[in-house]
């Protein structure tokens, strides 16, 4: 059974994951309108992934005898300036999510809720991957600079990332 303090913290994380899904979805829509099919596909796939992170938390809270709360979400931005600004924003967001996961892990240790602590280790590892991926993409965009041809090739490369991730292993 989760304590009220843990349940409250997990419900806050559910909201963060749901808002992350919405942010990726907004980025996907913006990229698609800009004509970047690869970046849009990447963002749509990550929006789905973030939703699955949220659902995993919902099910965990409910299975532990708590009640997962679904709340109103903050509206994500509609426009992102440039791809560099968008991916910088994405990286900054992932760093914030990592901090929130770390805060949650800290609460579980203080509350001596080792089952939830163990469950959250998957999120800790996932955030390391999310930050590294966002940093890697941002590094590539910084290398490209304002080269339109480079952005076109980058978009195709990102499309391959999505295709390779979806391919059966």
145 band by pLDDT with thresholds 50, 70 and 90: confident
Going by C-alpha positions, the residue among 107, 100, 17, 27 that lies closest to residue 55 is 17
169 band by pLDDT with thresholds 50, 70 and 90: very low
Cα separation, 55 vs 61, in Å, equals 10
Going by C-alpha positions, the residue among 5, 159, 3, 155 that lies closest to residue 86 is 155
Mind listing the pLDDT tens digit for each residue in 32-66?
999 999 999 999 999 999 999 999 999 999 999 99
Lowest mean pLDDT segment, chosen from 116-125, 149-158, 160-169:
160-169
Lowest mean pLDDT segment, chosen from 6-10, 98-102, 129-133, 140-144:
140-144
pTM: 0.91
Domains of the chain: 4-166 (1.20.1260.10)
Q: Which pLDDT score, from 0 to 100, does residue 111 have? A: 96
109 band by pLDDT with thresholds 50, 70 and 90: very high
What does the mean pLDDT of the chain come to?
92
Mean pLDDT over 98-106 rounds to 98
Question: Does residue 4 surpass a pLDDT of 50?
Answer: yes
Q: Who has greater pLDDT, 165 or 39?
A: 39
Mind listing the pLDDT tens digit for each residue in 60-99?
999 999 999 999 999 999 999 988 899 999 999 999 999 9
CB 161, CB 140: distance < 8 Å: no
CB 27, CB 137: distance < 8 Å: no
152 band by pLDDT with thresholds 50, 70 and 90: confident
């Amino acid at each position: 059974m989760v304590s009220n303090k843990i349940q409250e913290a997990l419900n806050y994380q559910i909201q963060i994951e749901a808002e992350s899904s919405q942010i990726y979805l907004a980025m996907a829509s913006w990229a698609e309108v800009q004509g970047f099919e690869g970046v849009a596909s990447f963002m749509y796939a990550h929006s789905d992934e973030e939703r699955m992170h949220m659902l995993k938390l919902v099910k965990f809270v409910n299975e532990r005898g708590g009640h997962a709360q679904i709340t109103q979400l903050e509206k994500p931005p509609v426009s992102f300036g440039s791809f560099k600004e968008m991916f910088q924003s994405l990286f900054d967001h992932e760093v914030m999510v990592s901090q929130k996961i770390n805060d949650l892990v800290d609460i579980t240790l203080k509350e001596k809720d080792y089952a939830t602590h163990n469950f959250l280790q998957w999120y800790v590892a996932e955030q390391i991957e999310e930050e590294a991926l966002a940093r890697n993409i941002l590094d590539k965009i910084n290398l490209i600079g304002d080269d339109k041809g480079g952005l076109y090739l980058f978009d195709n490369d990102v499309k391959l990332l999505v295709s390779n991730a979806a391919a059966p292993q």
